[in-house]
Amino acid sequence: MGNCSSFSLPKWIFGDLLSNGMVSIEEDGTHDGIKTIRIQKACEFTASSVLCVCIITWNMNGKMSVQDIRKLVSSTRKFDLLVVGLQEVPKCGVEQVLQEAMADTHILLCQKAMQSIQMFLFGAKSSEAYIKEMKVDKHAVGGCGGVIGRKKGAVAMYINFSGIRMVFVSCHLAAHEHKVEKRNSECRHISHSLFSKNDIHYAKSADITVWLGDLNYRLEGISSMPARKMIEENRQSKLRDRDQLLQEAEKGQVFNGYCEGTLSFKPTYKYNVGSSNYDSSYKIRVPSWTDRILFKVDHSSGLDAVLSSYEALDCVSSSDHKPVKAHLCLKVRGGNT
C-alpha cells in the first residue's frame, strides 16, 4: 500500500504545483474544455503519495471471459483503491470472478449496479478502517438503448476515505456518431441528478471526481479506411482533433475543467470479437475512443493528482471494446516529491 498509515489530509496545506505532470484546478475555476496532461513514467507509491487509485473501464459486450477479467486486475497491484466500471455486463457472476482475482491483496468495499452498468470498488485489506462515509446512487437515461437489459445512464459512488472525499461515476451514454447532443444532454442530466436527493450534493463537495465509462463519443469528419491507415502508421495523434468529446468540451458543452491523459493508445472501438482487428462487418465502423477516464480535482482540497498511466489493454479480446486503465496518485500540494 502507498501510505495507508497516514491518510489524514491537512486541508490547510497549499503551495505551488509540484513537478511537471501535476494537475490542479485554478482558483477561478476557468478552463477551456478538457485539459490533456502528461503521463508520468511510473507511480512513486511512496510516503509522498496520499492515495493511489487504479481505475478501469470496460464495455464487456455481454460476454463473459474469466481469463480477460483476470487480465484487468494484473498481479502488479501498487495501488490502494481499485475502481472497476463495466458496461453491457452479462448475467453470470462477474462480481465473484473479480473478488477471486483480487483476493490475495484487496477486498470488495462497495458495488453498485443498474442492469448492465456496474461498478466495483476494492481496497487493500486494511482499508475498511479508513472509510468514514460511503454512498451510492444511480440515474437512468434514454431507456434501454434498443437492447433489453442494456440500460443507458450511470451508477455512482461517494466515499470519504480518511478525509479525502471522492466521487466515481461510471456511465454508458447514447451510441452512434450523430447522437452528439444526446450524449451531451445525458452527461449534464446525470451530473445534475446524482446525489441530489434531499439537497445532499455529494458530487459538489468532492475533492476529486472521476468519470469513467463508455461515453460513446466518436471520431467525426473522417471515414473508416483513412482513419485505420493513420492508426496502422501510428499516427493516431492526428485523429485527436476529430474526437467529439474533446470538441464538445472545448465548446463548453461537457466536462469543462476536467483532465485526461494523452490519447496515445489506439481507439478502443470497434473490434472484431476475439481479435485486435477493427470491425470487418458490412458497417466497417470508424474506430473511436469511446471508452474514457476523466478526472477533476477541487482547487480547495489541498491535493494534486499525478497520472502515471493511461492505456488500453490490447490483450483483452472477448469484447468489441478494449478496456482502458488509468493510475492516479493523489498528493498533498507542496509536499515532497
At 215-263, the pLDDT tens digits run 999 999 999 999 999 999 999 999 999 999 999 999 999 999 999 999 9
The kind and range of the H/E element at 227 are: helix 224-232
The domain of 105 spans 33-330
User: Does residue 18 sit within a domain?
Assistant: no
- Whole-model pTM: value is 0.89
* Count of domains for the chain: 1
User: Does residue 4 sit within a domain?
Assistant: no
CATH assignment of the domain containing 267:
3.60.10.10
pLDDT tens digit sequence for 70-120? 999 987 788 999 999 999 999 888 999 999 999 999 999 999 999 999 999
User: Does residue 151 sit within a domain?
Assistant: yes
Strands 259-261 and 35-37: parallel
User: Does residue 7 sit within a domain?
Assistant: no
User: Does residue 20 sit within a domain?
Assistant: no
3-state secondary structure of 226: helix
Look up residue 315 and give its three cell numbers.
490483450
Nearest to 295, CA basis, from 253, 268, 326, 322: 326
pLDDT at site 41: 66
3-state secondary structure of 232: helix
User: Does residue 305 sit within a domain?
Assistant: yes
User: Does residue 184 sit within a domain?
Assistant: yes
User: Does residue 94 sit within a domain?
Assistant: yes
Sheet with 81-87, side-by-side order of all strands? 22-23, 303-312, 324-332, 49-59, 81-87, 117-124, 106-114
Which of the pair, 147 or 316, is modelled with greater confidence? 316
Within a 10 A sphere around the Cβ of 287, how many other Cβ atoms? Answer: 24
